[in-house]
Amino acid sequence: MDSIKKIDAGLYGGTRAFPRLEQFYIDDMECLEEWNTAYSSDEDCPPVFPCLRYVGIRDCPRLRIKQCLPPSIDDLRVYSSDNIISSCQNTGLARCCLEVECCVLPLIRWSLLFNFPFLEKLARNCSDLTCSPPDFLQGLTSLRTLTVTGCQSIVSLPERLGDLTSLKILDIRDCMRIKSLPDSIQKLTGLERLAIRGCPELIQWCKSRKNEMKLPHIKNMVCALTISIVFLFVISAWDLFYGAYLRGFIYLA
């Protein structure tokens, strides 16, 4: 499929295509430029992928999404496919989990992110949070889980972290240069779990008596210098990207 440039009505084959499909993967298609998620421009036309829940896009550097994503999607994962996060102007999604890895675009160009009105989970392994626009975190008022992993350029989390008023879980992994949490962490009174792994200086900061006083509202705090080797052995990067769903899917590569 190396020569395919579009995924559109020509592939779908009919107005009621894939009525039960729950997972759709697009992997390593360097020539793919467009995914048109509508069968036609007719508003009365039945939607394509009416039951789609999970979409994984990996190593598709030219790919852009045309039209809205199917509104049934609740889990979207993008790996090394910058055009997806910069070109999507209207996701059509309500509540969703978004995971982005190995994308080099600065957050200010993440048009995809700013079209999730009720984003509940964000996991990212890419650009620096501190380079985000001032109102970036303020707009994510529905976010319940934030995972920041492998961001070696980050030296601190932004003070506006305290704007994430719905946050329940904060997970920081392998960000070696982060040495402390912002004072605004005290505003996150609903934070239930703080997990820090592979961040030795940040762990020491959290364990100091002075800083423990800033974190009494957190019910569950987990600090570990390294991630479990057994965990890494059992769960490969491939498994992490493609998720745990085992029901019917389509895989394009």
CA pair distance 76, 10, nearest whole angstrom: 24
| pTM score of the predicted model | 0.76
**In-domain check, residue 1:** no
Whole-number mean pLDDT of the chain? 78
Q: What tens digit of pLDDT does each residue of 57-110 get?
A: 999 999 998 877 888 888 999 999 989 888 776 656 667 888 888 887 777 777
**What backbone phi and psi angles, to 5 degrees, belong to 107?**
-60, -30
Position 203 confidence tier, pLDDT thresholds 50, 70, 90:
very high
**In-domain check, residue 69:** yes
Position 232 confidence tier, pLDDT thresholds 50, 70, 90:
very low
**In-domain check, residue 51:** yes
Q: Do 103 and 75 touch, CB atoms closer than 8 A?
A: no
Range of the domain at 53: 6-252
* pLDDT score recorded for residue 180: 94
* 42, two tokens: 């007719």
CA pair distance 170, 128, nearest whole angstrom: 16
**In-domain check, residue 47:** yes
* pLDDT score recorded for residue 135: 62
Strand residue runs (E) in 150-232: 169-173, 193-197, 220-224
- Overall domain count for the chain: 1
Over residues 115-144, the mean pLDDT reads 70
- Return the percentage of the chain with pLDDT > 90, whole number: 27
pLDDT at 39 exceeding the cut of 60: yes
pLDDT at 241 exceeding the cut of 70: no
CA pair distance 75, 48, nearest whole angstrom: 17
* pLDDT score recorded for residue 166: 92
Domain with 87 in it: what CATH number? 3.80.10
**In-domain check, residue 167:** yes
**In-domain check, residue 89:** yes
**In-domain check, residue 99:** yes
Q: What tens digit of pLDDT does each residue of 158-192 get?
A: 888 898 989 999 999 988 899 999 999 999 999 99
- Burial label for 213, CB within 10 Å (0-12, 13-18, 19+), is exposed
